[in-house]
Structure 1
Amino acid sequence: MTRRLERAQKVATRAGIDTLVITPGADLRYLTGYAALPLERLTCLILPASGDPVLVVPALEKPAAVASGIGFEIATWDETDDPFDLAARLVGTAATIGVDDHMWVSRAFALKNALPAANQVLAGPVVQELRIRKDQAEVDALREAGTAIDRVHRQVAQWLRPGRTEREVGADIARAIIDEGHETVDFVIVGSGPNGASPHHELSDRVIEAGDPVVVDIGGTMPSGYCSDSTRNYLAGGQAPAEYEKAYAVLAEAQAAQRAYARPGVTAESIDRVGRDIIAAAGYGEKFVHRTGHGIGQETHEEPYIVEGSKLVLEEGMAFSIEPGIYLEGLYGARIEDIVVCTTDGIECFNNTPRELFRVDA
């Protein structure tokens, strides 16, 4: 049994959970290494707090599970079988079952019907307790992902120019994300001019104009299963509006202050506050409309969240984004984003392309 499974059993025991039931997604991949497809046929890990794990898979998926390196029992079911009956028999008399946070509602209901006497709780806190602290192999994987997405950002200037649409630029970026080593493209945001004021704008057929500030936020998943995410800002030729230049200088100061402050021993909310206070003091407080950051690993967004109200004290191995933004509706926006990890006494930054506004020659 892998060390991660053993650690999950210990955390489940402390939480009063008798058995974990984990369906395809980042939690299953983290615990077993199996990146199972989220099909309509049930696949799930049955992990008792004390005892041996079993992976339930449709018979036709067993070869894929074996190929992934599963080193424990695999229980299969055929097309005419009831997989939830099989899962219930394997769970047995467990009084409290932890179901993963991303389990489909239809499956949660079916599991409840198969085990009506069992109390169902969320397994998320158990797995998050493990995933929130990255080990050295995970840190190395995130560093590799950060370096790969940096290579993409270094190429953006050759595609981003007046006369092209956001969608055309985004298509070039998406190809580069794959070419630079990612397995999948998770998102491509190219927010030009007023579209940059929408933090999750993504792509449109808007034609980029000279003098447009452009927000480029991109990320993907590497073959390791670990994600990249980085935002930089570009000027598509011409001259940026004076107000934008002023706001960008404030944003750069805030993000730099947050990076300088972040380290083990501080709370998540205090990092948010450091940048937010700078932005507010410059008159843009209401224009910073989202949290400072999110954790990252086998999901782009996971714990810890860098947001007001989070009293979580950061520890070595916690990885997250630092990405304050300023958004002036109808005009333009800007966001500077780096992925960092807490070291013994500070942070390591995985994104190291220039954070200044990149001025593209028209």
Structure 2
Amino acid sequence: MTKESSDLYPVARLAAAQEATAAAGLDALLLTPSPDLRYITGYEALPLERLTCLVLPARGDAFMMVPRLELPAAEHSPASRLGVEFVAWDETDDPYAVVAARLGKVGKVGLADLMWAMQSLRFRDALPGAEQVLAGTVLRELRMRKSPAEIAALREAGAAIDAVHAQVPDLLKAGRTEREVGADIAEAILAAGHVTVDFVIVGSGPNGASPHHELSDRVIQAGEPVVVDIGGRMPSGYRSDSTRVYSVGEPPAGFQKYYDVLQRAQEAACAAVRPGVPCEEIDAAAREVIAAEGYGEYFIHRTGHGIGLESHEEPYIVAGNTEPLEEGFAFSVEPGIYLPGTHGARIEDILICTEGGGERVNHRPRELVVI
């Protein structure tokens, strides 16, 4: 394992998670293949019907249940640095019963937030006296506060997706379909260093008014704005996510007016980022600009979401979230204006909360790009 990877997935996280488990009043965490497991161990285990599970008691030694055929992969993974016992199980074994027997009597356990239902129900049966809660109630406090190595990984991801946006003007042409453009963008995401493509949104014309539009066979027309929202996963495990708006030729009447409003709203929200500011105030900073210009009803989603090992994680930048920002929090700022049946726009950057304010990791121009 490289020093970079060791910094990104430090051994000390296991002890920190164990302390947090005890402090939360849980008896153990049960972490199956998921961002939770990778955060603690660095191991990107395959999600299978066969149980792989890090069992982290609040007190005592952790161990990992591993299907025997996955044991070599586990032993060669970053999890091998942690000193936890790998408990290999065979096809005729009941790994849930093994976990229950080794844990003994427990009253409350935290399950990986993305554990499959088939596994959580098996654990419910194996530990009938245990209350099940989300492991995220424990791990959120650790995962939200990005380390210097995590911040470096997010900067790398931001630069990679910026490199893809730089190519978009050459790919967006009148007469091409959204699907054709999207396929080229997906190739560019991988070529820029990502290992997976998380999403490619190419919303042309009226499709730009749908924030999570799926690629379609609609032909892009001259004079249409196009919303391009793209992201992927880097080898580090950390994610990219950035949205820019392009116009194939001069935009339609009225579009530049509300695009300018949107750009001011995004700037206002980014400028509001600093430690101690409640998450909801970042949302309000963007929303107030848009509402003041008469477009409030067309801003139909939260202003942002946390990002790290998942594209969407805590903290969420939304009304009602009074949690104050802290140094190391990483999240998107992405206000949008969507006019149903006509067109839409969204500008998105990933920001890191620093002592001095908000550091953007995306640096492509935020002005409307006319092709």
TM-score relative to the length of structure 1? 0.98
The amino acid of 1:337's aligned partner reads E
Q: Does 1:275 align with 2:292?
A: no
Offset of residue 109 of structure 1? 1.2
Percent identity over the alignment is: 62
Q: Does 1:297 align with 2:318?
A: no
Which residue of structure 1 lines up, in the alignment, with residue 210 of structure 2?
198
Which residue of structure 1 lines up, in the alignment, with residue 87 of structure 2?
75
Q: Does 1:26 align with 2:35?
A: yes
Q: Does 1:153 align with 2:155?
A: no
Contact 1:187-1:202 at 8 Å conserved across structures: no
The amino acid of 2:263's aligned partner reads A
Offset of residue 104 of structure 1? 1.4
Matches within 5 A, 1:177-256: 177-237=189-249, 239-256=250-267
1:100-128 deviation per Cα after TM superposition (whole angstroms, max 9, x unaligned): 22111121111111111222222111111
The answer for unaligned runs of 5 or more in structure 1 is none
Which residue of structure 1 lines up, in the alignment, with residue 363 of structure 2?
352
Q: How many angstroms apart in 1 are the aligned matches of 2:270 and 2:321? A: 18
Offset of residue 219 of structure 1? 0.2
Q: How many angstroms apart in 1 are the aligned matches of 2:235 and 2:102? A: 32
Matches within 5 A, 1:331-342: 331-342=342-353
Q: Does 1:329 align with 2:340?
A: yes
Q: How many angstroms apart in 1 are the aligned matches of 2:147 and 2:101? A: 35
Which residue of structure 1 lines up, in the alignment, with residue 54 of structure 2?
45
Q: How many angstroms apart in 1 are the aligned matches of 2:241 and 2:112? A: 25
Matches within 5 A, 1:127-138: 127-138=139-150
Q: How many angstroms apart in 2 are the aligned matches of 1:236 and 1:139? A: 35
Which residue of structure 2 lines up, in the alignment, with residue 114 of structure 1?
126
Q: How many angstroms apart in 2 are the aligned matches of 1:39 and 1:68? A: 17
Q: How many angstroms apart in 1 are the aligned matches of 2:149 and 2:67? A: 31
Q: How many angstroms apart in 1 are the aligned matches of 2:168 and 2:89? A: 48
Offset of residue 244 of structure 1? 1.1
Offset of residue 68 of structure 1? 0.9
1:162-208 deviation per Cα after TM superposition (whole angstroms, max 9, x unaligned): 00000000000000000000010000000000000000003100000
Offset of residue 88 of structure 1? 1.2
Which residue of structure 2 lines up, in the alignment, with residue 165 of structure 1?
177
Contact 2:34-2:112 at 8 Å conserved across structures: no
Q: How many angstroms apart in 2 are the aligned matches of 1:103 and 1:70? A: 19
Helix, strand or coil: the match of 2:356?
Answer: coil
The amino acid of 1:48's aligned partner reads P
The amino acid of 2:157's aligned partner reads A
The amino acid of 1:162's aligned partner reads A
Offset of residue 280 of structure 1? 0.4
Helix, strand or coil: the match of 1:242?
Answer: coil
Contact 1:165-1:207 at 8 Å conserved across structures: yes
Offset of residue 86 of structure 1? 1.5
Contact 2:352-2:358 at 8 Å conserved across structures: yes
Q: How many angstroms apart in 2 are the aligned matches of 1:326 and 1:210? A: 21
Q: How many pairs are equivalent?
A: 359
Q: Does 1:7 align with 2:16?
A: yes
Q: How many angstroms apart in 1 are the aligned matches of 2:196 and 2:33? A: 17
Helix, strand or coil: the match of 2:79?
Answer: coil
- Greater mean alpha carbon deviation, residues 215-224 or residues 255-264: 255-264
Q: Does 1:35 align with 2:32?
A: no
The amino acid of 2:54's aligned partner reads L
Instruction: Pick the aligned partner of 2:152 from 134, 137, 140.
Output: 140
TM-score relative to the length of structure 2? 0.95
Which residue of structure 1 lines up, in the alignment, with residue 69 of structure 2?
60
Q: Which runs of 4+ in 1 moved over 4 A?
A: none
Offset of residue 241 of structure 1? 1.5
Helix, strand or coil: the match of 2:141?
Answer: helix
Helix, strand or coil: the match of 1:283?
Answer: coil
Q: How many angstroms apart in 1 are the aligned matches of 2:305 and 2:78? A: 31
Which residue of structure 1 lines up, in the alignment, with residue 6 of structure 2?
none
